[in-house]
Amino acid sequence: MSTWYPKKGRVIFHVDMNSFYASVEIARNPELKGKPLAIAGNPEERKGIVVTSSYEARAKGVKTTMPLWEAKKLCPELLVMRPNFERYREASREIFQILADITPYVQPVSIDEGYMDITECSQLGTPLDIAQQIQNTIFERLQLPCSIGIAPNKFLAKMASDMKKPMGITVLRKRDISLKLWPLDIEEMYGVGAKTAEKLRAINIKTIGDLATGDVMQLKGLLGINGERLQNRANGQDNRAVDPDAVSEFKSIGNSATLPQDTTDETEITSMLRNLSQKVADRMDRKQVISKNIQVMIRYADRRTITRSKQLPEFVEKVDEIYHYAVKLWDENWNQEPIRLLGVTAQSFIEKQQAGMQLNLFTYEDEVKKEPLYSAIDELTEKYGANPFKQVKETNQNNVTTSYQKDFLDDYKKK
């Protein structure tokens, strides 16, 4: 038992639900079991894109992000269902409650995956015992399959959970990475998107092992600080803690400043907005997040204060992007009276590393009606990596809460 629970190290799980949305529908209707199933929008009109599919559909070549018409061409017998948003959310709540019954150190990262730190759970058995218990409990209660990675840190646990699906349990120790991790193609490494993989292949880095043993200065020159970070991960180094409060750590990043004197000088005002946008961009970069909502605060000479925000059509992270929307908001809402204070705030975050793997599930039905969605998908995939379709966002007319903000991910704590 002591070898499983080292005195100085950690024991981390990554629990990843298998084909989650399709699995939830199959659990509700067992007649779907064993059949090729896809979750997609507008199935009656053959429009939209595949959000997820059962393993039977995947065996026929059906893939996430694939246009529905193409999926039907590959698999004429494909069954297509619209997503049921609340059903998936409720299943997620129950899953994370099961994990929380094992340990308080649970960090959801999306609706269907999360990390656990079980270092202090030796009284429950070996990590393999606990993983099997979790897997069995989720399946017995909810009829949902999951894969679990067991490792000394979050990165290796994430990689391990992908190694055997569905219903797999994989242990990945640091001493095993040269055999289990390094032979994998560079594209299979978590955090390496298509664009990054292309750059790495251009310098003859074709496998994770090549990255692990590559020239760090060359990597930093090619990818900046992320080059060194990726190499550390390839060598099994990841000091990030499992943080149960990470989902609510911050909802916004903002800066404000008082002008030297009340002014209507547009040059001075826009210069201030630029400086504030730079500070916000710098803080976002440090936290490795991108934003889909920009807010501007305007305080007039008589101390009247207004705040105006805009939900953006795409994620932003660069100063020019933040400044563009900040100036637009200011221009649309300034009443030409002297201004005393200005503020710029970014909201609605998603982790930059996750950006290439998230689907705005709860609004995608509207978006698939718009042709620009497909080019946006391509752009996201190119910029951030493969599969931009995993995490979800929920929207209603009265109250917008999103998984990018991660508000709903701690719902299981409220039961």
How large is the C-alpha radius of gyration of the chain? 23
| Cα angle for residues 294, 107, 119 (degrees, 5° grid) | 150
Is 185 annotated in some ligand binding site? no
Q: In whole angstroms, what is the distance from residue 52 CA to residue 367 CA?
A: 17
Is 176 annotated in some ligand binding site? no
| Three-state SS annotation for 337-394 | CCEEEEEEEEEEEEEHHHHHHECCCCCHHHHCCCCHHHHHHHHHHHHHCCCCCCECEE
Helix then strand then coil, in percent of the chain rounded to 5, is 45, 25, 35
Strand partners of residue 314: none
Q: Cα-flanking dihedrals φ and ψ of residue 275, to 5°?
A: -65, -40
Q: In whole angstroms, what is the distance from residue 160 CA to residue 148 CA?
A: 7
Active-site option among 25, 56, 113, 317:
113
Q: In whole angstroms, what is the distance from residue 52 CA to residue 82 CA?
A: 11
3-class DSSP assignment, residue 80: strand
Q: Is 371 a catalytic residue?
A: no
Structure tokens at 385: 């990596």
3-class DSSP assignment, residue 404: coil
Annotated binding site: 16, 112
Annotated binding site for Mg(2+): 16, 112
Q: Which residues are catalytic?
A: 113
